[in-house]
Amino acid sequence: MTPRNPDSLAALAPSRIAVYGAIAANIAIAATKFAVAAITGSSAMLSEGIHSAVDTGNGILLLVGTRLAERPATPEHPFGHGKELYFWSLIVAVLIFGLGGGLAVFEGLQHIVDPEPIRDAKWNYVVLAAAALFEGASFTVALPPESCTGPE
């Protein structure tokens, strides 16, 4: 049985922190979009909230894949489980495309058939500002510390 490579496992820790940051940002963004959808009655904002909720679930699936990829080698898997991370990444991509794209097409067709004018665009700007804030915080968490030191 092949032991785990401690160097490769140590490399997963920063990426796991980045995924936790992305999950937190996506939860906050989804909550903002759902709140604005409730206030405005906008089906497009509801669709966007669902999209952000799917992004949150995708982050959780990436954490699952990372955890499963860390398992040691077994007689059934003599080279370990490291490639399992790629499977879960594929599932994430399919979910983003399938659910996110499917909802976008559905909402788009619905609004072509029954168009509705924008009543108050201020809430869209509130969501954009909140999303920029949350994503910026997530990016700051994901940014490796050595990239912040500048040139030597």
Domain boundaries, the chain: 11-143
**Average pLDDT value over all residues in the chain:** 82
Structure-token pair, residue 120: 């108050």
> Which residue, 129, 103, 1, 120, is CA-closest to 43?
103
pTM strictly above 0.75: no
Distance in angstroms (rounded) separating the CA atoms of residues 24 and 22: 5
Amino acid letter, 132: A
Cα dihedral 140, 146, 147, 152 sign: positive
**For 4-16, what is the mean pLDDT?**
57
pLDDT digits over 88-137, tens only?
878 878 877 887 788 778 878 888 898 877 777 899 999 999 999 999 99
